[in-house]
Amino acid sequence: MELINVQKIWNKAPHNAFTDLIRFNNEWLCIFREGKTHVSLDGVLRILSSNDTKHWNPFSLIVGDSDLRDGKLCFTPDNQLMACGAEVMVEHGKRIHQSVVWFSKDGLSWSKEYKVGDLNFWLWRITWHAGIAYSVAYHCEGEPMVSLYSSKDGIHFSALVDCLIDEGEPTEASLLFENQIGYCLLRRESANGLLGVSYPPYTQWEWKDLGMLIGGPHFISISEDHFIAAVRLYDNKVRTSLCWLNPHTGEFKEALELPSGGDTSYSGLLWYQDRLWVSYYSSHEGNAAIYFAEVKV
């Protein structure tokens, strides 16, 4: 891989982080959280737009009753934009997590907030496949484990698999479907990351050890034999990197370190016009800021 270009596209809040990326109506949209700090209770979700990848402008803002975190964007089966995230509140001195979603036909005006899933089960990223929305939810209270949720309408989610895995403190996950096969890129807090593989109806999963700790996982397919993952890596120094992932063997290999360091990761990925486009955040140049990279593969 070769880094063609990288630019800082936003740093106006004290802390700008947790990105995702999508193309909608011939424009690029990048969503991320603005807040005072990494864990402050004042987070809002800002969306920037660009028609040329060089000039980015404020597009819309999603505000909740408390801290909004980890905004992600996807398309519903009827081609609406769907945003998901978590709303974090403090009750009796404890942090409470509620997964939430919004819908939009133009990306500018958004529906009311819908609470989805179960309290303290964080649906970290939603992926649609064959008319069904899927999400791996990690438990924010009790024993560490993740569940697999599904929904036919993107609002009413229920557990398809109560315990997907509970070893190594699993948390954030990204899902990908290729030729009806389901893949899960999973972060674990105290063990190496995993690649999960499953076949319809996606209730039984096999896991492959990636051989390294990862954070902020996301991945896309550029062919049935080649996946690209964007993760935070912890060996030597903390950084955001692009990695090759073999979906058959689970072989995981760093390919390109992006300019990054400190508080960093949580990428959005798009394959467009034979290029890989990446949004991510990093604090290597000061406050945590949003970056956008063009990569030749």
Annotated domain spans of the chain: 6-209+273-279
* pLDDT band per the 50, 70, 90 thresholds, residue 7: very high
Looking at the predicted structure, is the pLDDT value of residue 124 above 90?
Answer: yes
Q: 25-29, 96-100, 124-128, 222-226: which has the minimum mean pLDDT?
A: 222-226
Q: What is the pLDDT of residue 109?
A: 96
Task: Evaluate whether the domain defined by 6-209+273-279 bears CATH number 2.120.10.10.
Answer: yes
* pLDDT band per the 50, 70, 90 thresholds, residue 224: confident
8-62 residue pLDDT tens: 999 999 999 999 999 999 999 999 999 999 999 999 999 999 999 999 999 999 9
* pLDDT band per the 50, 70, 90 thresholds, residue 251: very high
pTM greater than 0.85: yes
- Report the C-alpha gap between 131 and 173 in whole angstroms: 20
Looking at the predicted structure, is the pLDDT value of residue 134 above 90?
Answer: yes
Q: What is the pLDDT of residue 92?
A: 87
Looking at the predicted structure, is the pLDDT value of residue 173 above 90?
Answer: yes
Looking at the predicted structure, is the pLDDT value of residue 241 above 90?
Answer: yes
- Report the C-alpha gap between 288 and 293 in whole angstroms: 16
Over range 147-151, report the average pLDDT. 98
Omega of the bond leading into 259 within 30 degrees of 0 (cis): no
Edge-first strand listing for the sheet containing 181-188: 170-178, 181-188, 194-198, 205-209
Looking at the predicted structure, is the pLDDT value of residue 93 above 90?
Answer: no
Which residue pairs from 259-264 have beta carbons closer than 8 angstroms and sit at least 24 positions apart in sequence? Answer: 259/3, 259/6, 259/284, 259/291, 260/284, 260/291, 261/237, 262/238, 262/288, 263/15, 263/17, 263/38, 263/288, 264/232, 264/238, 264/239, 264/240, 264/288
Q: Tokens at residue 22, please?
A: 């999508």
- Report the C-alpha gap between 294 and 259 in whole angstroms: 12
Q: What is the pLDDT of residue 102?
A: 98
Q: What is the pLDDT of residue 108?
A: 96
Looking at the predicted structure, is the pLDDT value of residue 196 above 90?
Answer: yes
Q: What is the pLDDT of residue 236?
A: 85
Looking at the predicted structure, is the pLDDT value of residue 165 above 90?
Answer: yes
Over range 156-180, report the average pLDDT. 97
